[in-house]
Amino acid sequence: MMEEVSQEDMEEVEVLEAQIKHLQAEVSALKCQQQDNHRDITFHFRGEMQDAMLCMCGQRQGDKKEKEKVLSRLKEEVEEMEADLKLQTEMNGISLNSCTTKTLQSSDRKLVQQLCVSGHCSELVFQVEFQLSEVKEGSGCVRTISGLNVVVDASDLQNFNSFLSGVEESRDLLLLFRTLRTFSNRCDDRCRTFQHFQEKYPSVVSLPGGCSSEVVTLNHPELSGCLLLVRWSVDVSKEGGVSPKIELLAKIPERGGASEAFQSLLRLLGPEAALESVIMAVGLSRDT
């Protein structure tokens, strides 16, 4: 009986020792994380903000009253940052949904982080991943970007892929977000125009893929063989240039040269007025 009890005690001791080792490993990991947080604070914050963050993280001593004062300053800083972010969103039209950061390397001189930013610009959804390296040089800090990967979710990206490849190669984030906004604005212009004509001429204008698609169909109310297809795509060059490309595909008996005439109208009148002129010219304005 004594041997059985002794065996049970040994097993319990082994379990407790395993738990102790597990807790020791957790403590070690937390200490490393604390050191990383301290380095991050040293890299990213200066002056009062740095002192406040160090105090809240336990890196500097302070009484309860001082910590409350520090917390109040931090809240003010956060509110100012939120107001600035809101203003930037209104100005550039880009809304961020999330931003995650993972520290890959951290020392007193160098910090390497993996960042993932996701958001949307109007109906255009994007996700950007990259590595940000920060190296201290003198009193300043040199930042470099590497491993840029961009994923964009939109309905018509056939002419957008070469631009994305070029941006990933050049790692030009400013060009990326500037072009995303311009591209999104041109797509919004197309959507509003299609929706306007569909509401103005409901028996004539149809949108097979919805107002966000690049094709609108014009059907003659009386002649079934008279059909116009207008394709409005948005091209993006590798350098970030954004331009509309509008084509007229005509299926109208004895109406040769309609496409060429439409391109002349585009050059003279612009997209909206050119579409209106086509509708009126072929007698499709029965809704007015």
More confident residue, 271 or 51: 271
**pLDDT of 52 above 70:** no
Q: What is the DSSP string of 220-242?
A: -SS-TT-EEEEEEEEEE-TT--E
Of 182, 188, 186, which Cα lies nearest the Cα of 239?
182
At residue 155, the pLDDT reads: 60
- The whole-angstrom separation of Cα 246 and Cα 273 is 13
More confident residue, 111 or 63: 111
pLDDT band for position 136 (cuts 50, 70, 90): confident
pLDDT band for position 218 (cuts 50, 70, 90): confident
Q: What percentage of the chain carries pLDDT values higher than 90?
A: 11
Stretch 12-40: mean pLDDT, rounded? 74
3-state secondary structure of 268: helix
